[in-house]
């Protein structure tokens, strides 16, 4: 049976390579590709909607493009000229407009600029095949770019360059050509992109980030708890619909909800005015890090909407906790334990007054029950989420490119943790009556997340809420989500959220080695790459832990975290020479701000080629298959068609 199946496979392969010559040619081609240096991988985490900062990191390759410019032109161009060249590469349309307005657009400027861009492009394209570079260029310009990048006659090279560039200027295509070169440099600088979770929440426009990610040729995403919250909301989980609206209002992100995803908030605004119109809602005023451009909302109305959805969320969460005793979260159902008559709650034998004393929609006898108006409102909001074409498209992309973890080129990536108990043993979580821990737990959750969205499975949709904030959720990894305490009590100790034991044990190199082994990774060469926990560099913390086996790369791209971290995020960069960390300064504007500080944290013994990567292993398998096809041709088992 095996021989029959193998012959059928070879016959299918023969349709693509119908002759000895074509199969041999492909073997030579694939072998050549395996000998090239590996492409550069970029790892980002906890983007939290900060689209301007993230897009700048992408366009600049986290400072790597500027480094290449400095190497190429450090002795021939001033620092200011190198800065202008790098800005042109990042934002070509805007910079060309500025050059024209300043009267600098001349034949000489165009000639020098094209020449310099070609040199930068030669540098970033050196590790790619000509066909790969060619595919990244607009079809109408492919021949010209190919010629400029692959001149081999050194004697006539300058003359040849000059003739081609002169023709580009004379024919009036210089502007489009310069823009195409800049975009080509950007595309080639980032070969593979890894997003270690939390694209959503806090920052203004995660939808713009997702639009950009959907353009990338090679990207994978490891979901964070904020991502699964939005996936769950898009699947119709009402508690998570309330959650993502609450967080968006809390951070003044109305543009995301209404302009980005076209979600209908009018019903919420009407309900909030009618229900809380005389309520000052002091504790609910949004935190404003970014102004809304398209949908500015009056601050008081925003606060009333915030309160309305927060109360609904607490009710819906209490219902989920009651429906799922296996989650062991009964003590977190604080809303139903509240004494609303006296506006207080007893926790640990001590009574605490509530910061808000007005709850007109709460029935003391059934505090978790939605009022008729609240239920009608949630029906409208659920319908809006389920029919937001753009949100549904983005979530499908998150599911197609995403997972709970990923193993790539010897590195293990996941957003949060592998839950552990206080003794360092893997912690189990009950799902559907069975208990899972470690890698099987993450695999089972992968299945449930897809079920929640594609099958609208009720249990899976409920479980998405647990993933968002449950104590044993690998994505949350804290003993509690102190939502109620933060809003209504404000007591520092009660608001404290304690991390899962994983975060302490994972700083031990042997623990990391054991986890790598469990995921089938070489413990000596591999690394664990996490997000989720902001690294407070200002307090002396380091993103490199466990003797270099663990990288925690949440450095605070989100403005909400930058005061705590002291920086504005990390990029982990893995190229053929080294593993490096780029430490970013707060993003000021497209033309302002400091370049990131890049430091090498690990160097391999020898330069890594594609043959050392997962892609190299795939190519090696294809080469073996092609050799079998050659043998089949030569033995007459399969006939040539060419």
What's the confidence (pLDDT) of residue 589?
65
H helical segments located in 519-597? 559-565
Residue 636 three-state SS = coil
Angle, CA 400 vertex, CA 395 and CA 401 arms, to 5°: 100
> Which residues, other chains included, contact 422 with Cβ-Cβ below 8 Å and sequence gap of 6+?
501
Angle, CA 326 vertex, CA 320 and CA 330 arms, to 5°: 55
* CB distance 464 to 476 below 8 Å: no
What region, left, alpha or beta, does residue 636 occupy, with left being phi > 0 and alpha being psi -120 to 50 degrees?
A: left
> Which residues, other chains included, contact 163 with Cβ-Cβ below 8 Å and sequence gap of 6+?
none
Note the Cα 617 to chain centre separation in Å.
Answer: 26
- Cα–Cα distance for residue pair 248/254, rounded to 1 Å: 7
Express each pLDDT in 409-433 by its tens digit: 999 999 999 999 999 999 999 999 9
- Cα–Cα distance for residue pair 112/225, rounded to 1 Å: 49
Q: Is the per-residue pLDDT at 349 higher than 60? A: yes
Residue among 485, 249, 243 at smallest CA distance from 347: 485
Radius of gyration in angstroms for the set of CA atoms belonging to the chain, rounded to a whole number = 28
Q: Work out the average pLDDT over 273-282.
A: 94
Q: Is the per-residue pLDDT at 593 higher than 80? A: no
Note the Cα 48 to chain centre separation in Å.
Answer: 9
Residue among 179, 152, 221, 194 at smallest CA distance from 39: 194
Q: Work out the average pLDDT over 590-601.
A: 76
Q: What number of other Cβ atoms are within 10 A of residue 74's Cβ? A: 10
DSSP collapsed to 3 states, 398-431: HHHHEECEEEECCEEEECCCCCECCCCCECCEEE
- Residue 540's Cβ-count burial label (10 Å; 0-12, 13-18, 19+) is exposed
Angle, CA 231 vertex, CA 229 and CA 237 arms, to 5°: 70
Q: Is the per-residue pLDDT at 115 higher than 60? A: yes
- Cα–Cα distance for residue pair 481/166, rounded to 1 Å: 64
What's the confidence (pLDDT) of residue 308?
98
- Cα–Cα distance for residue pair 75/531, rounded to 1 Å: 39
DSSP collapsed to 3 states, 268-329: HHHHHHHHHCCCCCHHHCCCCCCCCCCCCCCHHHHHHHHHHHHHHHHHHHHHHHHHCHHHCC
Express each pLDDT in 463-487 by its tens digit: 999 999 999 999 999 999 999 999 9
- Percentage of the chain exceeding pLDDT 90: 77
> Which residues, other chains included, contact 22 with Cβ-Cβ below 8 Å and sequence gap of 6+?
642
Q: Give the C-alpha distances (Å, rounded to integers) separating 282 from 303, 304, 309, 364.
A: 7, 9, 15, 23
- Percentage of the chain exceeding pLDDT 70: 97
Q: Is the per-residue pLDDT at 105 higher than 70? A: yes
**Dihedral, 609, 610, 612, 614 alpha carbons, nearest 10:** 160
Residue among 179, 300, 326, 305 at smallest CA distance from 245: 305
- Cα–Cα distance for residue pair 272/277, rounded to 1 Å: 7
**Residue tagged 């068609």 (tokens):** 641
**Residue tagged 């980002």 (tokens):** 44
Residue 520 three-state SS = coil
DSSP collapsed to 3 states, 202-234: CCCCHHHHHHHHCCCCCEEEECCHHHHHHHHHH
Q: Is the per-residue pLDDT at 240 higher than 50? A: yes
- List the domain boundaries for the chain: 2-35+612-635, 60-192, 222-400+422-469
What's the confidence (pLDDT) of residue 46?
93
* CB distance 298 to 254 below 8 Å: no
Transcribe 83-143 into DSSP letters. HHHHHHHHSHHHHHHHHHHTT---HHHHHHHHHHHHHHHHHHHTTS-HHHHHHTS-GGGHH
What's the confidence (pLDDT) of residue 590?
60
Residue among 419, 452, 40 at smallest CA distance from 236: 452
What's the confidence (pLDDT) of residue 3?
72
* CB distance 619 to 28 below 8 Å: no
Express each pLDDT in 153-198 by its tens digit: 555 667 777 888 899 999 999 999 999 999 999 988 999 999 999 9
- Cα–Cα distance for residue pair 549/543, rounded to 1 Å: 11
pLDDT band at 329 (very low <50, low <70, confident <90, very high): very high
Average pLDDT over the chain reads 92
Sheet strand arrangement including 570-574? 402-403, 219-222, 192-195, 41-44, 570-574, 579-583, 597-602
* CB distance 387 to 236 below 8 Å: no
What's the confidence (pLDDT) of residue 540?
83
Tokens of 145: 């770019």
pLDDT band at 138 (very low <50, low <70, confident <90, very high): confident
């Amino acid at each position: 049976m095996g021989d029959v199946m193998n012959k059928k496979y070879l016959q299918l392969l023969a349709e693509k390579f119908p002759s000895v010559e074509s199969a041999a040619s492909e073997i030579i081609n694939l072998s050549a590709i395996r000998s090239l240096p590996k492409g550069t991988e970029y790892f980002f985490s906890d983007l939290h909607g900060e689209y301007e900062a993230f897009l700048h990191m992408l366009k600049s390759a986290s400072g790597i493009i500027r480094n290449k410019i400095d190497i190429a032109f450090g002795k021939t161009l001033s620092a200011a000229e190198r800065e202008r060249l790098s800005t042109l590469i990042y934002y070509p349309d805007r910079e060309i407009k500025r050059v024209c307005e300043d009267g600098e657009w001349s034949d000489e400027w165009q000639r020098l600029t094209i020449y310099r861009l070609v040199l930068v492009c030669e540098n970033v394209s050196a590790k790619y095949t000509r066909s790969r570079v060619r595919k990244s260029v607009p079809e109408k310009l492919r021949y010209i770019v190919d010629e400029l990048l692959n001149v081999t006659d050194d004697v006539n090279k300058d003359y040849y360059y000059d003739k081609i560039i002169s023709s580009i200027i004379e024919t009036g295509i210089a502007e489009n050509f310069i823009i195409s070169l800049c975009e080509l440099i950007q595309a080639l600088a980032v070969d593979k992109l890894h997003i270690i979770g939390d694209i959503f929440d806090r920052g203004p426009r995660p939808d713009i980030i997702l639009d950009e990610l959907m353009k990338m040729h090679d990207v994978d995403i490891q979901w964070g708890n904020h991502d699964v919250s939005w996936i769950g909301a898009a699947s119709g989980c009402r508690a998570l619909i309330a959650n993502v609206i609450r967080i968006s209002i809390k951070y003044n992100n109305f543009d995301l909800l209404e302009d980005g995803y076209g979600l209908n908030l009018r019903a919420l605004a009407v309900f909030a005015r009618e229900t809380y119109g005389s309520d000052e809602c002091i504790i609910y005023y949004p935190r404003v890090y970014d102004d809304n451009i398209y949908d500015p909302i009056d601050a008081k109305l925003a606060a009333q909407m915030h309160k309305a959805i927060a109360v609904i969320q607490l009710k819906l969460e209490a219902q989920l906790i009651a429906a799922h005793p296996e989650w062991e979260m009964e003590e977190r159902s604080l809303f139903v334990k509240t004494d609303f008559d006296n506006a207080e709650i007893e926790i640990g034998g001590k009574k605490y007054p509530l910061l808000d004393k007005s709850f007109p929609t709460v029935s003391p006898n059934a505090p978790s029950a939605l009022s008729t108006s609240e239920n009608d409102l949630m029906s409208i909001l659920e319908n809006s989420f389920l029919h937001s074409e753009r949100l549904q498209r983005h979530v499908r992309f998150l599911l197609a490119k995403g997972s709970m973890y990923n193993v790539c080129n010897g590195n293990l990536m996941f957003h949060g943790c592998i839950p552990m108990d206080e003794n360092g043993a893997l912690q189990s979580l009950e799902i559907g009556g069975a208990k899972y821990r470690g890698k099987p737990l993450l695999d089972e959750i992968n299945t449930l997340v897809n079920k929640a969205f594609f099958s609208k499975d009720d249990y899976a949709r409920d479980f998405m809420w647990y993933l968002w904030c449950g104590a044993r959720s690998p994505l949350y990894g804290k003993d509690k989500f102190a939502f109620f305490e933060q809003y209504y009590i404000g007591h520092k100790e009660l608001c404290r959220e304690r991390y899962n034991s994983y975060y302490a044990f994972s700083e031990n190199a042997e623990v990391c080695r054991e986890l790598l082994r469990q995921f089938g990774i070489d413990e000596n060469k591999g690394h664990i790459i996490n997000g989720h926990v902001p690294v407070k560099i200002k307090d002396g913390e380091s993103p490199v832990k466990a003797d270099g086996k663990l990288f925690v790369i949440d450095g605070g791209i989100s403005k909400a975290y930058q005061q705590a971290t002291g920086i504005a995020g990390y990029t982990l960069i893995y190229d053929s020479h080294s593993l490096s960390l780029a430490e970013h300064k707060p993003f000021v504007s497209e033309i302002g701000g400091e370049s990131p500080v890049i430091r090498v944290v690990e160097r391999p013994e020898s330069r890594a080629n594609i043959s050392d990567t997962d892609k190299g292993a795939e190519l090696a398998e294809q080469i073996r298959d092609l050799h079998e096809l050659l043998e089949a041709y030569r033995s007459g088992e399969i006939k040539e068609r060419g």
